[in-house]
Amino acid sequence: MRQIIIIGSGPAGYTAAVYAGRANMRPLLIASSVEAGGELMNTTEVENFPGFPDGIMGPDLMSKMQAQAEKFGTDIIYEDVTGVDLSGPVKKVTLGSGAVHEALSVIFAAGSAYRKLGLADEDRLSGRGVSWCATCDGFFFRDRTIAVIGGGDSALEEALFLTRFADKVYLVHRRGSLRASKIMQDRAFANDKIEFVWNSDVVSINGEDQVESITVRDTETGVQQNLDVRGLFIAVGNDPRVHLVHGQLELTPGGTIAVEGRSSRTAVPGVFAAGDVTDPTYRQAITAAASGAVAALDAEHYLATLSPDLLGSTAVDPASSFETTTV
């Protein structure tokens, strides 16, 4: 049995692992089988993470966080969690392989999942022109016309990145002004490959085997038009990934995990939450990382309240233990 299991391998999970590792808790971190590293793995240059004045590619940042977590003794398993039992003093985490891992505390930092538009042909044409990841799929749209849906930073980032390949990018937004930050707006407005389609909803994605066009409807006039596009990139936000803890942890009306004040403590003793699963507002790599640090500190304080008998049952294999460093 472990002292702590961390579920999630984004900035929140890895930062929690760095702190828990340095506190000699010998964390076990469960990274996903296909989405290890979280959302930043699908990002290009990260310009606003302190310490990297020249920017850093998202995957490089995540591999540095992973290396830092491992340096302090974090064990990582690349599998999906299929179930958790958070009741009682010993928490159980079940993986896709059927293996069950136990710990006295859990930090839940499973991140968030891309939101869908909810259109009939969205899933059918996924991978056939419909995508949620410009860095993964943009290359396939060289010299094509494509559309990006959304008005936030993600949509503008996707649109700007796609102008490297596409000959034209429609930015379709349901309102008449953008939610994105000023700097991203300025860049998008200055790019003459991007054409804005304001006050418009997508009503259908058209095509047999591949996306051939989308139909958009003007939300003010109701007038519909077809946009001839081969690619459709959906960037309309994310929803917290909380299905694993439904019925076990309390959720807020917005669907994030409820925590006590500025802490990471859920209503269940020994269970802490960090990153996008708790944050309906900021959702930055740096805020997720900070909440991971908070969660590890909260978990450390919780473990200190447990009986020596219980803690004694979390022996670490001395052959694989490590020396802590102090700063």
Q: Which is nearer to ligand NAP, 118 or 247 (CB)?
A: 118
Candidates 134-142, 147-155, 218-226, 240-248: pick the segment binding ligand NAP (CB under 6 A): 147-155
For 192-203, the three-class secondary structure string (H helix, E strand, C coil) is CCEEEECCEEEE
* Catalytic residue list contains 137: yes
All residues at 6 or more sequence positions from 314 whose CB lies less than 8 Å from its CB, including other chains? 1, 2, 3, 103, 104
Query: From the centroid of its chain, how far is CA 121?
Result: 25
Name which of 196, 1, 22, 229 is nearest 106 in CA terms: 1
283 sits near ligand NAP (criterion: CB under 6 A): yes
* Catalytic residue list contains 167: no
217 sits near ligand NAP (criterion: CB under 6 A): no
236 sits near ligand NAP (criterion: CB under 6 A): yes
Strand 200-206 to strand 81-85: parallel, antiparallel, or no bridges (unpaired)?
A: unpaired
Distances (CA, A) of 105 to 41, 238, 258, 308: 27, 27, 17, 15
Q: Using CB under 6 A, which of 8, 38, 129, 151 touches ligand NAP?
A: 151
Candidates 55-63, 187-195, 235-243, 290-298: pick the segment binding ligand NAP (CB under 6 A): 235-243
Q: Using CB under 6 A, which of 71, 142, 175, 301 touches ligand NAP?
A: 175
For tokens 């494509």, the residue is: 146
Q: Which is nearer to ligand NAP, 155 or 211 (CB)?
A: 155
Instruction: Output the smallest distance, CB 249 to ligand NAP, in A.
Output: 23
Catalytic residue (choose from 133, 201, 218, 239): 133
Between CA 278 and CA 289 the distance in angstroms is 12
Contacts 24+ apart (CB under 8 A), 175-179: 175/151, 175/199, 177/151, 178/151, 178/152, 179/151, 179/152, 179/153
Residues in contact with ligand NAP, counted by CB under 6 A, come to a total of 19
Shortest Cβ contact with ligand NAP: which residue? 152
48 sits near ligand NAP (criterion: CB under 6 A): yes
59 sits near ligand NAP (criterion: CB under 6 A): no
What residue type is assigned to position 136 of the chain? C
Instruction: Output the smallest distance, CB 10 to ligand NAP, in A.
Output: 12
Q: Which is nearer to ligand NAP, 61 or 303 (CB)?
A: 61
276 sits near ligand NAP (criterion: CB under 6 A): no
Distances (CA, A) of 262 to 80, 265, 278: 29, 9, 11
* Catalytic residue list contains 133: yes
Between CA 77 and CA 82 the distance in angstroms is 13
111 sits near ligand NAP (criterion: CB under 6 A): no
Candidates 63-71, 146-154, 185-193, 218-226: pick the segment binding ligand NAP (CB under 6 A): 146-154
Instruction: Output the smallest distance, CB 63 to ligand NAP, in A.
Output: 19
How many Cβ atoms sit within 10 Å of the Cβ of residue 197?
A: 17
117 sits near ligand NAP (criterion: CB under 6 A): yes
Instruction: Output the smallest distance, CB 199 to ligand NAP, in A.
Output: 10
All residues at 6 or more sequence positions from 15 whose CB lies less than 8 Å from its CB, including other chains? 65, 288, 289, 290, 292, 293, 296
Distances (CA, A) of 288 to 24, 89, 235, 282: 22, 27, 20, 9
Q: Which residues of the shown chain bind ligand NAP in the complex (CB under 6 A)? A: 48, 117, 149-155, 157, 174-175, 179, 235-238, 283-284
Residues assigned a catalytic role = 133, 136-137
